[in-house]
């Protein structure tokens, strides 16, 4: 596994651990949640946060980072 893949896997594991700590369990697979709907809602939230971050950069609140 490449270094970046390990970093991505670590970030995902950290999020899983945080959720398990917050809710006291792993993700339940049979609780009738609509995982697709929840994913869409999370993606929309993500788009909002990214757009706000971009606006902050454009307005000079956050220095532009070279990627």
Instruction: In whole angstroms, give the CA distance from residue 14 to residue 8.
Output: 10
The verdict on 28 and 40 lying in the same domain is no
Instruction: In whole angstroms, give the CA distance from residue 26 to residue 20.
Output: 5
Provide the pLDDT for residue 59.
93
Range of the domain at 25: 1-32
The verdict on 12 and 27 lying in the same domain is yes
Q: How many structural domains are present in the chain?
A: 2
Instruction: In whole angstroms, give the CA distance from residue 7 to residue 13.
Output: 10
The verdict on 64 and 37 lying in the same domain is yes
The verdict on 18 and 48 lying in the same domain is no
Provide the pLDDT for residue 2.
86
Enter the pTM of the model.
0.67
The verdict on 26 and 5 lying in the same domain is yes
Residue-wise pLDDT tens for the chain (67 aa)?
A: 889 999 999 999 999 999 999 989 988 888 888 999 999 999 999 999 999 999 999 999 987 776 6
Report the b/e string of 20-34 with b at 16+ CB within 10 A.
eeeeeeeeeeeeeee
């Amino acid at each position: 596994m490449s270094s970046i893949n390990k970093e991505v896997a670590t970030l995902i594991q950290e999020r899983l651990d945080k959720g398990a700590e917050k809710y006291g369990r792993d993700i339940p697979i049979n609780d009738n949640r609509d995982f697709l709907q929840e994913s869409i809602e999370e993606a929309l939230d993500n788009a909002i946060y990214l757009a706000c971050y971009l606006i902050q950069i454009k307005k000079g609140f956050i220095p532009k980072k070279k990627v």
